[in-house]
């Protein structure tokens, strides 16, 4: 039974049983505590917690998930995958334990011809929380499971909570017994790979507080509305139903594995280490494909870093399988073909997806080449010094700074007959992980407890009137101070105000929040920020500037009209620039993020190279032509599917409801899903002036523009600057570029002549320097400051010449100079000095320490530098001291 067929049967079954079928949410979650949708329940958290009323009493879905906390286990076990699909059925205060158990057991054990999955009950085991007698009894009475197939387990496996105050409850899991060939008897309690968990039923029935750990907390009482949260692992069910040993051999994953086998020329099943690598490739390529399809792009932080790590692990695994060249063109195409039936977007958006994948592979292959060069030098230096081990710090530098995998460092070192100080490397890695975990915990601690908004959200959604009105009368539904609900707030306090209606725009979709005030009888509030802490609820962060505000009082929101006008201009300008980019570059130049505020817009888009000046001018001209043409701006509220069918573009990672707001500028020329505020006609934008274009990742670019009066003021300032230059240089405006180029050429020629004079002056000092050599210990030493020098190369050249003049006796030359505003010390040694133990690299480090910097190099020539040029005499003295102590 194919994976897509299993999912279809699941959804059909629950739809027939009164469940609303909910589409999968994006892998990119808007939960600030998470980078990705890591579990099937993530999109339903507002409903499960009661923060937001559920729009349906029962639902079912097939949710895409990404989880990388067990990434090192991928390929080693039959069930660990970074991308997985979680089939779930949900009850929000509707049915509870009995219904959940009946639904699960019936679907699993019903014959295929009746739409079921046809599991033999004799192959299934059940676990329950050790104190949950109710569930234990229901498995017997409802499903007919015998006592010897039901096991009671503790909180660590059969109790669910988020680790934060809120809902929690016992859970019950269904396991499939793969048979004695896969492990010992004894049921799921043996924690063996023989028993594969395929379905988890969470009975969310308690409210917890005083959470000390995930399994240590106080139960406040039962929830007023008990919920059901279940998850059936689609990949796990698929590998069982398809009669294969693991998820990597299922129909959606195996084709990539087979393609990797063909590219490598090796055999799957012949070598355990190779098998793990093949599975890593198959899993990571599919995960990367799905992340790219949801708008994640490779980068060095956040979600983009996780994607980059997955892609680079796949490239590394192919290299360890003997393939050094590019493979993504074939591997990603194969994964696309395997996944397109379930997720058509991987085919319809293939051009953009493949562009990112191939660009990332090309970049990393260059990184590997560069890292190999650095590592080769480290190997050579280690061998030359008689060492047998590469320092852990060097291996970590390669990993952390250059993205060079430790596996390859170990492999190359082993080929050279060396080892790597793995303990030191691991220590540095642990320190880095500890910092990352501390940052994540801090971020989690900083999250507001959204339960405080629950009662307020239960009164209904905040009505936004700001599309048509700049003032709206309402009433104060709630007040929060420091996250705690209060009855009133007084002058000087910072508070959150919840209103029934508001004309103030809450930050979203790239548009920053409105400025304005909230006024009422005897009080005035300055609006500092407007946000949506939970879906559908608007919170105004305010400072009470006058009087006292209380719950239940009348309140009028007043929008700063000038700021809103400029913000509308910037947001509409963003849409115009997006359309111009697609006109100029093609349909793959899709939005990757934006920011617009009064007078300014920033737009990120998918593109792999810098834009030429001509292209930037063309984009600017198209955008301003659209302004000139006074295009009509219209908005419509319609069904999401209808909007997509009309060609409306959606922002990747943005959550959309069943109905959406579509904004057209000039009809279909610019058609996007957008909840922001806009001008009525394009001419109201006024003017768009592109002021910047830069890279924001391997395959993303950013354009920035000033809009309206801000654009005019910027151009006026440039005009004044040009006028000043024409006056100062006594040159007509059109001849300014040539005149400035002429002055630059003259300056460069003068600098070259000065450098030649300085070099000749240094060379003239050669006899005096050589003649002034002193004896330090057993060495003839020249340690002098040259004052200033044009370049470090000049200092090095002079030091080598002085050394040559000193003959065959052990000689060390250390010359210092200020190059620009930075001090430099060059140390050179001859063969006799090196034989006596003098190493230029060691001496240069000693000098650099005195200069407040760093240095090093070879034994014969080395260089140090720093920040304190006044310390050059001390630095040269440090060289002498080191030689005297030798």
Annotated binding residue 171: no
Instruction: Tell me which residue range forms the domain holding 398.
Output: 388-443
339 and 460 fall within a common domain: no
Answer yes or no: is 735 within a domain.
no
Residue that finishes a domain, picked among 401, 419, 443: 443
Q: Is residue 85 part of a domain?
A: yes
Q: What is the pLDDT of residue 449?
A: 55
CATH number at residue 80: 3.30.930.10
- 828 in the same domain as 781: yes
Contact (Cβ atoms closer than 8 angstroms) between residue 300 and residue 308: yes
Question: Last residue of a domain, which of 559, 575, 592?
Answer: 559
Whether 220 is in a domain gets the answer yes
Tell whether 730 is covered by a domain: no
Q: Are residues 459 and 522 in the same domain?
A: yes
DSSP, res 632: B
Summary count for the chain: helices (H), strands (E): 26, 35
> What are the respective helix, strand and coil percentages of the chain, to the nearest 5?
45, 25, 30
Residue 148 sits in the same domain as residue 8: yes
Taking residue 474's Cβ as centre, other Cβ atoms within 10 Å add up to 21
User: Does 676 lie in the same domain as 703?
Assistant: yes
Task: Give the predicted TM-score (pTM) of the model.
Answer: 0.69
Q: Looking at the structure, do residues 10 and 108 belong to the same domain, yes or no?
A: yes
347-366 in b/e form (b: 16+ CB < 10 A) is eebbebbbbbbbbbbebbbe
Do 350 and 394 have their domain in common?
Answer: no
Angle at 619 between CA 509 and CA 739, to 5 degrees: 125
Instruction: Kindly state whether residues 165 and 25 are assigned to the same domain.
Output: yes
Q: Interior CA angle at 275 toward 7 and 279, to 5°?
A: 35
3-state secondary structure 445-495: HCCCCHHHHHHHHHCCCCEECCCCCCEEEEEEEEEEECCEEECEEECCCEE
- Count of domains forming the chain: 6
Question: Can you give the pLDDT at residue 444?
Answer: 43
- 755 is a domain residue: no
Q: Measure the CA–CA gap between 195 and 153, rounded to whole angstroms.
A: 15
DSSP tag of 401:
H
Q: Within this chain, do residues 547 and 649 fall inside the same structural domain, yes or no?
A: no
CA 312 – CA 365 distance, rounded (Å):
9
For tokens 């003295």, name the residue. Answer: 877
579 and 692 part of one domain = yes
Residue with tokens 């200092």: 795
The CATH number of whichever domain residue 489 belongs to comes to: 2.40.30.130
Return the pLDDT at 653.
52
For residue 382, being part of any structural domain is answered with: no
Domain for residue 762, yes or no?
Answer: no
Q: Are 494 and 577 in the same domain?
A: no
For residue 766, give both structure tokens.
Answer: 């050669």
Ligand-binding annotation for 399, yes or no, is no
The predicted structure's pLDDT at residue 118: 95
Q: Which value, in Å, is the radius of gyration of the alpha carbons in the chain? A: 34
How high is the pLDDT of residue 867? 86
From 676, 697, 716, the end of a domain falls on 716
Q: Within a 10 A sphere around the Cβ of 805, how many other Cβ atoms?
A: 16
Residue 540, marked binder: no
State yes or no: 571 annotated in a binding site: yes
Question: Per-10-residue mean pLDDT for the chain, 886 residues long?
Answer: 95 96 89 83 85 90 90 80 94 95 96 94 96 95 94 92 83 95 91 88 92 85 90 94 92 96 94 92 96 87 86 90 94 96 92 89 83 80 84 82 74 81 86 66 48 82 94 95 91 94 93 95 95 91 95 95 96 96 88 91 89 94 96 93 84 70 94 94 95 82 94 92 91 89 89 77 81 88 88 88 89 91 92 91 90 86 89 91 81
Q: What is the CATH number of the domain that holds 613?
A: 3.30.980.10
Residue 746 placed within a domain = no
Are both 111 and 137 inside the same structural domain? yes
Residue 216 β-bridge partners: 213
How far CA 235 is from CA of 109, 115, 138, 254, 703, in Å, comes to: 18, 19, 27, 12, 41
């Amino acid at each position: 039974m194919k994976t897509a067929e299993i999912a279809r049967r699941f959804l059909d079954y629950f739809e027939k049983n009164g469940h609303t079928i909910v589409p999968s949410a994006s892998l990119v979650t808007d939960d600030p505590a998470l980078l990705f949708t890591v579990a099937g329940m993530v999109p339903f958290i507002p409903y499960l917690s009661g923060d937001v009323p559920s729009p349906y009493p029962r639902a079912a879905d097939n949710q895409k998930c990404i989880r990388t906390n067990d990434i090192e286990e991928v390929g080693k076990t039959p069930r660990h995958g970074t991308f997985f699909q979680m089939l779930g059925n949900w009850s929000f205060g509707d049915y509870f334990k009995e219904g959940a158990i009946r639904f699960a057991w019936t679907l699993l054990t019903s014959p295929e011809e009746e739409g079921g999955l046809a599991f033999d009950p004799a192959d299934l085991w059940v676990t329950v929380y050790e104190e949950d007698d109710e569930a234990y009894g229901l498995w017997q009475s409802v499903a007919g499971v015998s006592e010897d197939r039901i096991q009671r387990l503790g909180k660590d496996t059969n109790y669910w909570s988020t680790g934060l105050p809120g809902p929690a409850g016992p859970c019950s899991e269904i396991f499939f017994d793969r048979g004695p060939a896969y492990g010992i008897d004894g049921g799921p309690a043996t924690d063996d790979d023989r028993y594969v968990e395929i379905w988890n039923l969470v009975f969310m029935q308690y409210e917890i507080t005083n959470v000390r750990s995930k399994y240590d907390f106080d139960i406040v009482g039962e929830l007023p509305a008990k919920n059901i949260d279940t998850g059936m692992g689609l990949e796990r069910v698929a590998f069982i139903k398809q009669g294969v040993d693991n998820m990597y051999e299922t129909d959606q994953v195996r084709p990539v594995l087979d393609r990797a086998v063909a590219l490598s020329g090796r055999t799957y099943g012949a070598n355990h280490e190779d098998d793990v690598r093949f599975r890593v490739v198959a899993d990571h390529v599919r995960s990367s494909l799905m992340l790219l399809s949801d708008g994640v792009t490779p980068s060095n932080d956040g979600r983009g870093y996780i994607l980059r790590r997955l892609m680079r692990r796949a490239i590394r695994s192919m290299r360890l399988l003997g393939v050094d060249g590019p493979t993504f063109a074939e591997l990603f195409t194969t994964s696309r073909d395997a996944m397109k039936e379930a997720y058509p977007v991987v085919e319809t958006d293939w051009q953009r997806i493949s562009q990112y994948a191939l660009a990332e592979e090309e970049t990393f292959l260059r990184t590997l080449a560069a890292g190999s060069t650095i590592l080769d030098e480290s190997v050579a230096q280690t061998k030359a010094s008689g060492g047998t081990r590469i320092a852990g710090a060097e291996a970590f530098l390669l990993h952390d700074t250059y993205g060079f995998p430790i596996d390859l460092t170990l492999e190359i070192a082993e080929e050279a007959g060396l080892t790597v100080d793995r303990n030191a490397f691991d220590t540095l890695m642990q320190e880095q992980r500890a910092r990352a975990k501390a940052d994540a915990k801090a971020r989690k601690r900083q999250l507001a407890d959204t339960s405080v908004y629950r009662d307020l959200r239960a009164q209904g959604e905040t009505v936004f009137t700001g599309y048509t009105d700049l003032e709206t009368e309402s009433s104060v539904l709630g007040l929060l101070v420091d996250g705690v609900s209060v009855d009133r707030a007084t002058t000087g306090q910072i508070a959150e105000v919840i209103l029934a209606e508001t004309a103030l725009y809450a930050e979203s979709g790239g548009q920053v929040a409105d400025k304005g005030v909230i006024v009422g009888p005897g009080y005035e509030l300055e609006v500092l920020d407007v946000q949506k802490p939970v879906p559908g609820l608007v919170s105004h962060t305010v400072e009470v500037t006058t009087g006292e505000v209380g719950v239940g009082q009348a309140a009028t929101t007043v929008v700063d009209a000038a700021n809103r006008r400029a913000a509308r201009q910037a947001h509409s300008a963003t849409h115009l620039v997006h359309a111009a980019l697609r006109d100029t570059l093609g349909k793959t130049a899709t939005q990757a993020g934006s920011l617009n505020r009064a007078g300014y817009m920033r737009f990120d888009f998918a593109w792999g190279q810098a834009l030429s000046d001509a292209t930037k001018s063309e984009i600017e001209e198209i955008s301003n032509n659209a302004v000139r043409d006074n295009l009509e701006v219209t908005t419509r509220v319609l069904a999401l599917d209808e909007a997509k069918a009309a060609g409306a573009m959606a922002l990747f990672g943005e959550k959309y409801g069943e109905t959406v707001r579509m904004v057209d500028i000039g009809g279909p020329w610019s058609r996007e899903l957008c909840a922001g505020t806009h001008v009525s006609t394009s001419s109201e934008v006024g003017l768009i002036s592109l002021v910047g274009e830069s890279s924001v990742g391997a395959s993303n670019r950013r354009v920035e523009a000033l809009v309206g009066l801000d654009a005019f003021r910027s151009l006026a300032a440039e005009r004044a600057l040009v006028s000043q230059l024409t006056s100062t240089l006594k040159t007509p405006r059109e001849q300014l570029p040539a005149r400035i180029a002429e002055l630059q050429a003259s300056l460069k020629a003068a600098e070259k002549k000065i450098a030649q004079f300085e070099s000749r002056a240094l060379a003239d000092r050669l006899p005096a320097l050589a003649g002034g050599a002193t004896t330090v210990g057993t060495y003839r030493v020249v340690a002098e400051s040259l004052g200033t020098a044009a370049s470090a190369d000049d200092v090095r050249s002079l030091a080598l010449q002085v050394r040559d003049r000193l003959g065959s006796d052990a000689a060390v030359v250390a010359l210092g100079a200020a190059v620009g505003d930075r001090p430099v010390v060059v140390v050179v040694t001859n063969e006799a000095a090196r034989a006596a133990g003098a190493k230029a690299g060691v001496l240069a480090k000693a000098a650099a320490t005195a200069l407040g910097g760093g240095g090093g190099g070879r034994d014969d020539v080395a260089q140090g530098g720093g920040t304190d040029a006044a310390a050059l005499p001390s630095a040269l003295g440090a060289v002498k001291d080191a030689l005297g102590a030798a």
